[in-house]
């Protein structure tokens, strides 16, 4: 990531689309190499999580509004959404303690 003093004009941004990604991060104009897909193969640990993730994603849509509201309340004041916490609680457990 490269910090910029200002974002370039829209014409320059459009001309470099697919090569350079321009955006504002924490109020700072920055540029980076255009994100690329890592390809079709993923690490075995990542692939092992796909079935769990697909299941919990479908489960969220059938969850009652009161349970969704509870997760949204827990997520308030954080960078997470209620759905993020719901997914994490299914895959890893809601809280992770390190002692």
pLDDT digits (tens, 9 = 90+) for 14-71: 888 888 999 998 889 999 988 777 777 888 888 888 888 899 999 999 999 999 999 9
At residue 67, the pLDDT reads 94
At residue 98, the pLDDT reads 53
Query: Which residue did the predictor score with more confidence, 82 or 42?
Result: 82
Measured CA to CA, the distance from residue 86 to residue 82 in angstroms comes to 6
At residue 91, the pLDDT reads 84
pLDDT of residue 81 exceeding 90, the answer is yes
User: What single DSSP character describes residue 76?
Assistant: T
At residue 99, the pLDDT reads 45
N- to C-terminal Cα separation, the chain: 34
At residue 57, the pLDDT reads 92
Q: How far, in Å, are 7, 21, 81, 83, 99 from residue 11 at the CA level?
A: 11, 13, 35, 38, 52
Can you tell me the mean pLDDT for 6-21? 89
pLDDT of residue 10 exceeding 50, the answer is yes
Q: How many CB atoms lie within 10 A of CB 69?
A: 11
pLDDT of residue 95 exceeding 80, the answer is no
Measured CA to CA, the distance from residue 51 to residue 9 in angstroms comes to 44
Token pair of 48, please?
A: 């092992």
């Amino acid at each position: 990531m490269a910090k910029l003093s200002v974002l370039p004009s829209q014409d320059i941004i459009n001309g470099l689309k697919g090569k350079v990604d321009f955006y504002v991060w924490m109020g700072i104009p920055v540029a980076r190499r255009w994100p690329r897909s890592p390809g079709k193969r993923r690490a075995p640990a990542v692939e092992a999580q796909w079935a769990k993730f697909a299941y919990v994603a479908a489960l969220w849509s059938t969850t009652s509004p009161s349970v969704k509201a509870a997760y949204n309340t827990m997520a308030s004041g954080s960078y997470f959404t209620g759905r993020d916490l719901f997914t994490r609680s299914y895959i890893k457990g809601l809280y992770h303690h390190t002692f």
